Amino acid sequence: MPELIDVVVGELRLSLRVWPAVDRGRTPALLLPATGKTTRDWDGIASGLCAERTVYAVDLRGHGASEWPGTYSLKLFTRDVIGILDRLDLGAVDLVGHSLGGLVACGVAADRPEQVRRLVLEDIGYLHPRPPGLPDRPEGDLPFDWHLVEQVRPEIDDPDPEWADIVARIMAPTLLIGGGAASPIPQQQLAELADRLADARLVTIAAGHLVHETAPDDYLNHLLAFLAG
């Protein structure tokens, strides 16, 4: 069973779920979920990883049991995750990010190359400007702060020119896992991201955007092979 821990970065309390490894011989894994998802989203994948490595999953700011400060950006998410690495003194990790978590993982890998041994990006592509659009807020209570969608979505629609530099600074061997034609993410942008990275390979699992949720066995097989390679 996972353990729940809190890590304070600056004045912000962030919540993590931790699956201690039976055999601690391998590099720990740090998992970052998509917009609106919490640490529980990783339960199945973490259970398959923790036999050989300790696994940490993060509730990003404004999500789940972490604090909801009302202020959000890709740089703030990145700073938070770097703060977690520092506070836990984990050394190098294998960093896995889905969607928003993948964009954050790119920032971490660029800013702290010595702390990311391997990088896994689930269904994210190279960012290009696109027509702005804000989805309708779902009804009822949400497990995340809707203000983060209002603040971060425009950053993704009109990416910072620094995005190209972030990608160029990523040196970690990287696995990109695309969701195929059923995903709303243009898959040619995943191929472009793979081409721009220093050391990347791209695999497709025809499962749509929620790859690890829809096809967990295939996802885990690719993930374990890459991390062991």
Q: pLDDT by residue for the chain (229 residues), tens digit each?
A: 899 999 999 999 999 999 999 766 799 999 999 999 999 999 999 999 999 899 999 999 999 999 999 999 999 999 999 999 999 998 999 999 999 999 999 999 999 999 999 999 999 999 999 999 899 999 999 999 999 999 999 999 999 999 999 999 999 999 999 999 999 999 999 999 999 999 999 999 999 999 999 999 999 999 999 999 8
Helix (H, G, I), strand (E, B) or coil at 58: strand
Tokens read off for 220: 């885990």
Residue 165: C-alpha distances to residues 110, 155, 169, 196 (Å) = 9, 16, 6, 10
Check if the beta carbon of residue 186 is closer than 8 Å to that of residue 123.
no
CATH superfamily of 3-228: Alpha/Beta hydrolase fold, catalytic domain (3.40.50.1820)
Domain ranges of the chain: 3-228
Q: Is 48 left (phi over 0), alpha (psi -120 to 50) or beta?
A: alpha
Kindly report the pTM of this predicted structure.
Answer: 0.97
